[in-house]
Structure 1
Amino acid sequence: MKQEAETYRNPIIPGFAPDPSICRVGDDFYLINSTFEYFPGIPIYHSRDLVNWELIGNALYSVNQNVNMDSINSSAGIHAPTIRYHEGLFYIITTNNLNGEMINFIVTAEDPKGPWSKAYILKDAPGIDPSLFFDDDEKVWYTGSSVPPDPEFDGQSEIWMQELDLNKMQLMGEKYYLTRGFSNGTWAEGPHIYKYGDYYYLMISEGGTLHNHAVTIAVSKIITGPYIANARNPILTHRHLSLDHPIIAVGHGDLVQIKENDWYMVALGFRPIEKKYKNLGRETFLIPVIWETEPYWWKDEKIAWPVCSPKTGKVEFEYPVPFPGTKQLKINEFYDNFNDTELNLEWNFRRTPTVTFHSFNKKKGFLRIYLKEGFIAEQSQYSFVGIRQRHFQMEAKSKMEFNPAGNEEAGMTVIQNDRSAYVMSLMDGKIQLHHFFHGTDSLLASHSYKKSTVFWNISADYLDYDFSYSQDGKNWVLLFNNADGSKLSPESSGWTYTGVYIGFYGSSNNLTSTNYADFDWFQYKGVSE
C-alpha cells in the first residue's frame, strides 16, 4: 500500500513576514523578519522541524532600547535584520531607517525569548541590510549594502565588509568593497557570508523586491575577496516566469544547515491576488538546497555551489518535510480574552508609543484603549493595536464597551498603512465606516446606534471586505459589503513594505480627552490555502 508523502506547504510564515533570517542552535531553529514601523519589532520564531513555528518574543519590545521609531514614515523603521548565535549569545543586527537616515545597530540576548539588550549603535556604518559572520579565527565580520560614491546607474549599490570589535561593539580596520552585484542587477543588498569547505561564499539579493528580485552568490578563498561569481547566477529567482505566476518576487534569502549535507533557504515572496494585488505583503518561504560540485573536467579547482529547489529551480508551494515524521500544523485561529497582564506577542502598535495608551488593570479581563488626539495620518501617533492578516479569507470579531462624546470614536480597523485604512467605529449616536485614503476621509456608511456595547465583525474574501455590527453578538447588521480590498494593496496605497493589519482603533480627533474604549475579547479565524 502506497504511503501518503510527508510534505509541508509554503509559506511557512504567512502574512507580512519579509526579509527572513535564520540560525540553528543545536536542534533548535530561530527565525526573524523585518517589521518597519510596527512595534514591538523583529518577531522571533522558534521551531524544531523548520515547518512549524512559534512566536516566542520580539527583539525590540521596550521604548528604552535606544531605538527611535516614534515619528517614522510608513515603511521606514526596521529593515532586513540578521540573527546569528555565537558562544552562548544571540546577536541581531539590523537597520533603522529614520526617515532616510540609516542607523545600523546590534542587540543581544542569552535567551531568544529575551530580555534583549539596548541597541549598540554602530558608527560609520552606512547603508542598509547588515549581517554578521563569526569566522573560525575568532574574527567577526560585518557586511552591508550602501550606495557607492560613483554609481554608474540609478539603483546601483555596493556590498562592503569590515571587521567588528565585539568588546567595543564598533567597526574597526579597513573597509573592503566586495561587489556591486553578480548579475548586473540594481540594488545589491541583503548580504550574508557562509563558509562551506575551504571557501567563503557571499550571497546577496539583487533586482529590487518585485518581479526582478533574485539571489546570487560568489566564492572566495579569502573572506575579504576577491569574490568570483557563480556562472549560473541567479541561484534563486522567479524573474524568468510570467508576471501572473502564483509566487512572485522571491529573494532575500538566508541559508541554514540542518545536517551534514542537508541545507535549506528561507526567502521572501508575494502571493498576489488577481495577478496583481499584494495585500498580505511579503511572506516567508522555505526552500530545499543541495550543494553540487562543478562537473567541468578542464577546471583544476572545482567549486561546490548551492542549488535551490533542485527538482524544479523555482519556489514551490509544497515540498517533502525536512525531518521525516513531521506533520505541519496550520494555525488558522487566534483568540485573546485579555486576561493576561501584558499584550499577547501577536499584537503590534504602529510606531513606538510616545505615551502608553492601553491598560489591563483598569478593568479585569478587558483591554482598555485610551483615545489619543491623533488619527490615521503619515508619521502620526494614534491609538491602534492590531495583528497581521495572515489569510486571504478571514473573519475578525470583537466586543467593545464605549461611551463616546463629541467627535470621539473607537472601533475596529483594517489598515495597510497611514495612506489607506478602513475604520468601523462607534461615535456619538451612530456607527460609521470611513475610508482613509491618501489624506482623504470618505464616509462609506452610517447607521444610528444608541447602545454603548457593540460587537464588531470584519471579514475578508480576497479583495472583498465586509463590515458588520451587532447588539448581542448573534444578530448581525451589515454596515457595508464588498469594500474594495485593492485599496489596501501597495499598488493603491502607495508603495509599502508591509502587509494588512486588523485590530482596534480609537481617536478623540484633535481634542484632548481622557476617554477610553474597553475591549472584552478578540477572535480571528482564517482559511488556509
Structure 2
Amino acid sequence: MKMKRLTLLLLFLTQLVWAQENTFKNPILQGGYPDPSITTDGEYFYIVNSSFEYFPGLPLHRSKDLVNWEFIGYGLHRADQCNGEMNLVDVQQNGGIHAPTIRYHEGKFYIITTNVYNPIDGSPTKMINFIITAEKITGPWSEPHIIKGAPGIDPDIFFDDNGDVWFVGTHSPENPNYEGEGEIWTQQLDLDNWKLKGERHYLYRGACGGVWVEGPHVYKHDGKYYLMVAEGGTSYNHAMMIAVSENMTGPYESNERNPILTTRNLSYDNWVNSTGHADIVQLKDGRWYMVALGIRGDVQRASNMGRETFLVPVQWERVPFWWEEIKYDWPVVAPETGRVMKNEKLPFDSHPQLRNDAFIDNFDGNPLDLEWNFRRVPMENTYSLSAKKGHLRLFLKPEVIQKRGRTSLMGIRQKETDFEYSSKMKFNAKKEGTEAGISIFQKDDNFINFTVKKKNGKHVLQLLLAEKKVEELQVLKEEVITDYKGEIIFKLLSMENKYVFSYSLDNGKTFIPFETTKSDYLLSFGWNSGYTGAYCGIYATSNGKPTKEYADFDWVNYKGFE
C-alpha cells in the first residue's frame, strides 16, 4: 500500500513538473504596456503598445514564440516626430498616444494611432490620427503622416486582398443616444498622398449598448470581414465584441455569443480584471492567438503596473445550429476556460518561457538603454552618458514635477507589485534648495520622491509624496544627515503592501532604515484614468533657481518578485 501511494505521489509530482514546464505565465509584457496590437512578418511576431504622454513613444517588442519578448525600439524615437501639430512636449497627462495598430504589408511596417491633445488655451481637444512607417521594425521610423479629416481615436489600418486600403476609426455619432455612445466608421486611404478618399461608411455601434465602442480591428477570414471592437470602457466592464459582414462597408451582424472576452462575468476579485482592447494573429500552422490588456488585481482590485499585455489562445468555430441560414465562423477566445489564465499552455512546447524580472544599468554604454522613459519629450541637456565615464549625469533644472511639465525625471517600468529598487548617487549639493535622488512615479500629481536636499545649509534626506486628489505635497519624513559625504545608495523594498525606504552611506555595507509607508499610493485604476503604470526612476531639481549642478548616478538595480 505504501509503495502504491509513493508511486502515485511520484506520478503526480512528475505531472506537476511537466505541466509547469509546458506552461507560460501571464502577463507576457509586464508593467505599463496597454492596448496591445500584434502582427507578423512570417519570421517574428511584433507587438506595439500605447504610450500616452511618455517618450520615447510606441514601444515595440518582437518574439518567435509569443511568450519571450525582446524590447527592440520605439515608433516615436526622435523629438522631431513629436513637436508642432504632433505635440508631445506639453501634452496633458493621460493624453498623447492612444491605442495603436501595427501591420506588416508587402515588406513595410505600418503603425496607425492617435495623439490626443488638449490645447493649453482651453480650445477643443484635438484628435490627431497619423501613420508612421519603417522598412525595418528597429527603424528608423518615418515622420508622422497626419490623416486630415479623420475624427475620433484608436484607428485601424486594413489591407484588403484586392489592393484596397481602409482607415477604420472610432467617433461619437452626430446624435448620440447616451453619453459614451461610440460608432465605428471606415473610409478608403490613399497611401501615396496620406489622405482619405471616397465615401465614409458607418459600420457598428457595438453589441451590448455600445458604451465606449473603440479599438476596432478588421480581419478577413473565410472570405468574410470580421470587425472586432472593445466595448464598455477600460475598466471592470471592459469586453471584446465581434461582428461579421460579406462586405467591408457592411452591414455588420453581431455575434450572438458576444462578448468573446471579458471579466465582467467574474468576481471583481478575480486575479485579473478589465481584459479587453485586443488584437489577434494567425500562426503559420493555422492556429490563432489574442493579445489583450488586463489589470492585475493585486491590491484593492488594482495594481501599480496599470494595464499590461496578456496572451490567450483562440480557435474559430462554425455555428452548429441547423436552422441558421448562414453558418458563420466565430472566434472562441480561451476555448477551454473562457478567460485569461495566469498559467497557460505554451504555444510552442520547444520554447519555454524565460522570464526575467531584473534590470541593472551600470551606464557603461551609449545610447541610453531602451527601458528608460521620460514624461514627455525631455528638455535639451537633461542627462549625459559621457560627462563622467560609467555614470549617468542628470542635470538639475529649475523645473519640478508638475502638470504638463518637463523636468529632470526618467524611469523604468515597475513590473511586479513586490520589488526592490536601488540606485547609487554622487551629489555634492551646493546651492540652497537643490536636490536629487530616486522617484517612484505614476503621474504629474502622483509620485514619491526620496532625495537628498540642501536645506538651511545642511544636507537633508527627504521623503515627499504627491497623492491623487490631494492639493499639497506631503513631507512624509525629513531628517538631517550630518555624515553625508556626497555619496549615497537609496533603496526601496516593496513587500506585503508596504514600501520600506532605507539608505546607505558606506557603499552598501550597512543600510539605515528611513521610513515605511503603504504601497498603494500609486495604484492605477482603469476607471480613474489609470492608463499607465508606475515607474522606478531618478530625479533632480534646483527648485526654481538656475544652477549648473548635477547628480551622477553610478547604477540602478531593479528586481521584481512574482
Q: How does the TM-score come out when normalised to structure 2?
A: 0.92
Match of 2:508 in 1: 473
- Please give the alpha-carbon distance, in whole angstroms, between the structure 1 residues aligned to 2:28 and 2:246: 34
1:358 corresponds to which residue? 383
Indicate the residue corresponding to 1:11 in structure 2.
27
1: distance between equivalents of 2:438 and 2:114?
A: 31
1:256-279 deviations in whole A, cap 9, x for unaligned?
Answer: 001343000000001122342331
C-alpha contact (below 8 Å) 2:318/2:328 kept by paired residues: yes
Determine the C-alpha separation between the residues in 2 that align with 1:419 and 1:283. 22
Are 2:100 and 1:81 equivalent residues in the alignment?
A: yes
Residue 278 (structure 1) aligned to one of 295, 303, 312: 303
Q: Distance in 1 between matches of 2:502 and 2:61?
A: 34
Larger radius of gyration: 2
Q: Which residue matches 1:517?
A: 551
Mapped contact 1:245–1:275 kept (Cα < 8 A): no
Matched, 1:447 2:479: yes
Within 5 Å, give how 1:395-434 maps onto structure 2. 395-404=420-429, 405-428=431-454, 429-434=459-464
2:66 is equivalent to residue 50 of structure 1: yes
Give every structure 1 segment of 4 or more consecutive aligned residues whose post-TM-superposition deviation is greater than 4 Å.
491-494
In 1, the alpha carbon distance for the partners of 2:150 and 2:509 equals 57
Give, in angstroms, the shift of residue 295 of structure 1. Answer: 0.4
TM-superposed deviation, 1:73: 1.6
Summarize deviations over 1:104-126 as a string: whole Å, max 9, x none: 11111111111111111110011
Tell me which amino acid in the other structure corresponds to 1:444.
L
Q: Cα offset for 1:324?
A: 2.0
| CA-to-aligned-CA distance 1:294-332 (integer Å, 9 cap, x gap) | 101122321100000001111111111111211101111
8 Å CA contact 1:353, 1:381 repeated in 2:
yes
Instruction: Kindly provide the amino acid, as one letter, of the partner of residue 413 in structure 1.
Output: S
Cα shift at 1:493: 12
Compare 436-445 and 303-312 and name the one that shifted more.
436-445
| Letter paired with 2:488 | V
The 3-state SS of whatever aligns with 1:479 is strand
1:354 shift after superposition = 3.5
Greater mean alpha carbon deviation, residues 442-451 or residues 25-34: 442-451
Aligned residue among 98, 102, 107 for 2:117: 98
1:494 to partner: Cα distance: 5.7
| Distance (Å, rounded) in 1 between the aligned partners of 2:559 and 2:35 | 26
Matching residue's letter, 2:60: I
Distance apart, 1:374 and its partner CA: 1.3
CA apart distance, 1:345:
0.2
Q: Out of 364, 377, 401, which is 1:339 matched to?
A: 364
Alignment check: 8 A CA contact 1:400 1:453 kept: yes
Following the alignment from structure 2 to structure 1, what is the Cα–Cα distance between the partners of residues 312 and 200? 33
Amino acid at match of 1:375: V
- Cα deviation, 1:491-521, whole Å, max 9, x if unaligned, reads 5996331111111011111111221111011
Report the secondary structure of 1:64's partner residue. helix
Distance 1:260 1:219, change over 3 A: farther
Q: 1:116 to 1:148 in 2, by over 3 A?
A: same
Aligned to 1:484: 518
Aligned to 1:60: 76
Distance 1:492 1:170, change over 3 A: closer
Select which of 404, 410, 415 maps to 1:390.
415
**Greater displacement, 503-512 / 456-465:** 456-465
Q: Are 2:150 and 1:125 equivalent residues in the alignment?
A: yes
Gap change, CA 1:328 and 1:491, over 3 Å in 2: closer
- What one-letter code is carried by the residue in structure 1 that aligns with 2:62? H
- Does the Cα contact within 8 Å between 1:160 and 1:179 map onto a contact in 2? yes
Q: What is the CA-CA distance between 1:454 and the residue it aligns to?
A: 0.8
Change (3 A) 1:491 1:90: closer
Contact 1:395-1:526 within 8 A present in 2 as well:
yes
Among 179, 188, 206, which residue is 1:154 paired with? 179
Equivalent residues in 2 for 1:255-294 (5 A)? 255-294=280-319
Q: Aligned pair 1:24/2:40, yes or no?
A: yes
Percent identity between matched residues is 46
TM-superposed deviation, 1:167: 0.8
Task: Rate the CA distance shift 1:493–1:24 in 2: closer, same or farther, 3 A.
Answer: closer
Tell whether the 8 Å contact from 1:433 to 1:445 is kept in structure 2 after alignment.
Answer: yes
Cα offsets for 1:324-343 (capped at 9, x unmatched): 21110111111111011211
Aligned equivalents of 2:382, 2:74: Cα separation in 1: 20
- SS of the counterpart of 1:97? strand
Q: Which amino acid aligns with 1:92?
A: I
1:134 maps to what in 2? 159
1:496-507 aligned within 5 A: 496-507=530-541
Aligned equivalent of 2:5: none
Residue pair 2:234, 2:527 contacting (<8 A) in 1 also: no
Indicate if the aligned counterparts of 2:304 and 2:520 stay in contact, CA closer than 8 A. Answer: yes
Contact 1:337–1:365 (Cα < 8 Å) also in 2:
yes
Counterpart CA distance in 1 for 2:538 and 2:471 is 20
Contact 1:16 1:498 survives alignment (8 Å) = yes
SS in 2 for 1:183: coil
Q: Which residue identity lines up with residue 520 of structure 1 in the other structure?
A: D
Residues of 2 paired with 1:356 and 1:231: CA distance? 57
Q: Is the 8 A contact 1:178 1:224 kept in 2?
A: yes
* More moved, 202-211 vs 290-299: 290-299
Residues 4-40 of structure 1, C-alpha deviation per residue, up to 9 Å, x if partnerless? 1311111111111110000011121000111111111
Equivalenced residue count is: 527
8 A contact 1:377–1:439 mirrored in 2: no
* Residues 163-222 of structure 1: per-residue CA shift (max 9 Å, x gap): 111111121111111111122131000000000011110000000000100000000110
Aligned residue identity for 1:29:
F
Equivalences for residues 141-290 of structure 1 within 5 A? 141-290=166-315
Q: Which residue of 2 aligns with 1:527?
A: 561
The residue identity in structure 1 corresponding to 2:540 is G
What's the counterpart of residue 435 of structure 1? 465
**Secondary structure, counterpart of 1:487 in structure 2:** helix
- Aligned-partner Cα distance in 2 for 1:362–1:460: 33
Q: Distance in 1 between matches of 2:50 and 2:338?
A: 26
**215-224 or 484-493: bigger deviation:** 484-493
8 Å contact kept, 2:299–2:520: no
Check the 8 A contact 1:386/1:502 in 2, yes or no.
yes
- Tell me if the contact between 1:424 and 1:432 (Cα under 8 Å) persists in the aligned partners: yes
Q: How far does residue 488 in structure 1 lie from its aligned partner after superposition?
A: 0.8
Question: Do the aligned residues in 2 keep the contact of 1:182 with 1:229 (CA within 8 Å)?
Answer: yes
Whole-angstrom CA distance in 1 between matches of 2:497 and 2:471: 22
Deviation at 1:490, TM superposition (A): 3.5
In structure 1, distance between residues paired with 2:499 and 2:139: 37
| Deviation of 1:102 (Å) | 1.1
Q: Distance in 1 between matches of 2:554 and 2:126?
A: 41
What runs of 5+ residues in structure 2 fail to find an aligned partner?
1-10, 119-124
